[in-house]
Amino acid sequence: MNLTQFPIPLFERLRFVLVETSRPGNIGAAARAMKTMGFSDLVLVNPRIADAQRHEEAIAFASGAQDVLENARVVGTLDEAIAGYNFIGAFSARLREFSPPIRQPRELAASLVMDGKVKAALVFGNERFGLSNEHVEKCNALLKVPANPAYSSLNLGQAVQIMAYECRMAAIGEGDASSVIGFQGEQANSDQIEGMFVHLENALIDIEFLDPDQPKKLMPRLRRMFARTALETEEVNILRGIANQILKKHVR
């Protein structure tokens, strides 16, 4: 029997990424929120305090989720945290001019369950500054909680708890990935998509469609456009093939 034909539980393919977190207590609170909902994959990107996951405040706020803290991986960049992942969601209350498509937690959680093979990462920014535009541009969706418009502020632990809860409810509900109709290829991961954008940008520069000295907003707009498509690996390869032919044929 080929077990790979069955969907992988969301609990085994969902990662929570905290970027440049300032307070160790918030890291502990996030770990607790994850564990109560059955998730354990936590990655910390350049936390402001060294060894933050072992800080006494983090341990105190984790309140029994020390195993999630101890197994948390610390990396220097967001690219390292999301390497190999197909879908990246940025959690932010602030809209961006060139943000990827906006999705609500409940709808996103359901779609992640339905696609039983996609590896997803949910990214949360610094408590004060949130995520940078550069970070958001690397993501496939901007996650926004439909909170009170007069006061929509959430702390980091609350934000992680909301996403973990919605993902758990979707995972243990009646969603059935087998009900998806039609062929679905393997979704491209972040490394493949970044490579495609570099290749495409070089081709556009080569045919003088893009001026590298005055790039303006062309590449962010292209990123936004492709973020709406959930690119598959084969589609990325096609686009890179087109870029490659442009570079070959356009000989100065």
Same domain, 166 and 107: yes
For residues 250 and 71, the model is more confident at: 71
User: Residue 16 falls within a domain, yes or no?
Assistant: yes
105-142 residue pLDDT tens: 999 999 999 988 899 999 999 999 899 999 999 999 99
pLDDT at 5: 54
- Provide the pLDDT confidence category of residue 75 given band limits of 50, 70 and 90: very high
Provide the percentage of residues in the chain whose pLDDT is more than 90.
75
- The pLDDT of residue 3 is above 50: no
User: Residue 214 falls within a domain, yes or no?
Assistant: yes
Q: For residue 96, what are the domain limits? A: 3-179
pLDDT at 183: 65
Burial of 33 (0-12, 13-18, 19+ CB in 10 A): buried
Same domain, 137 and 240: no
- Provide the pLDDT confidence category of residue 175 given band limits of 50, 70 and 90: very low
Distance of CA 82 to the CA centre of its chain: 7
- Provide the pLDDT confidence category of residue 251 given band limits of 50, 70 and 90: low
pLDDT at 168: 96
Structure tokens of 135?
């970070």
The sign of the torsion formed by the CA atoms of 174, 36, 89, 192 equals negative
206-245 residue pLDDT tens: 999 999 998 889 999 999 999 888 899 999 999 999 999 9
In CATH, what number is assigned to the domain containing residue 60? 3.40.1280.10
Same domain, 196 and 171: no
Total domains present in the chain? 2
Structure tokens of 252?
């100065």
Same domain, 165 and 219: no
Same domain, 122 and 201: no
61 with 26: CB under 8 angstroms?
Answer: yes
41 with 150: CB under 8 angstroms?
Answer: no
Same domain, 174 and 232: no
Of 157, 179, 201, the domain-final residue: 179
Structure tokens of 78?
């967001």
Of 160, 179, 198, the domain-final residue: 179
User: Residue 184 falls within a domain, yes or no?
Assistant: no
32 with 70: CB under 8 angstroms?
Answer: no
Q: How many residues does the chain have?
A: 252
3-state secondary structure of 158: helix
Distance CA 117, CA 177 (A): 10
32 with 72: CB under 8 angstroms?
Answer: no
Same domain, 67 and 175: yes
Same domain, 52 and 90: yes
- The pLDDT of residue 178 is above 50: no
pLDDT at 21: 97
Same domain, 196 and 170: no
Same domain, 221 and 118: no
Burial of 243 (0-12, 13-18, 19+ CB in 10 A): buried
3-state secondary structure of 127: coil
In CATH, what number is assigned to the domain containing residue 220? 1.10.8.590
Between 68-77, 146-155, 191-200, the lowest mean confidence (pLDDT) is in 146-155
Cβ neighbours of residue 46 closer than 8 Å, sequence gap 6 or more: 19, 20, 75, 76, 77
- Report the amino acid identity of residue 15: R
Same domain, 119 and 19: yes
pLDDT at 93: 77
Kindly state the average pLDDT of the residues 29-58.
97
- Provide the pLDDT confidence category of residue 6 given band limits of 50, 70 and 90: low
pTM: 0.79
Same domain, 30 and 150: yes
228 with 101: CB under 8 angstroms?
Answer: yes
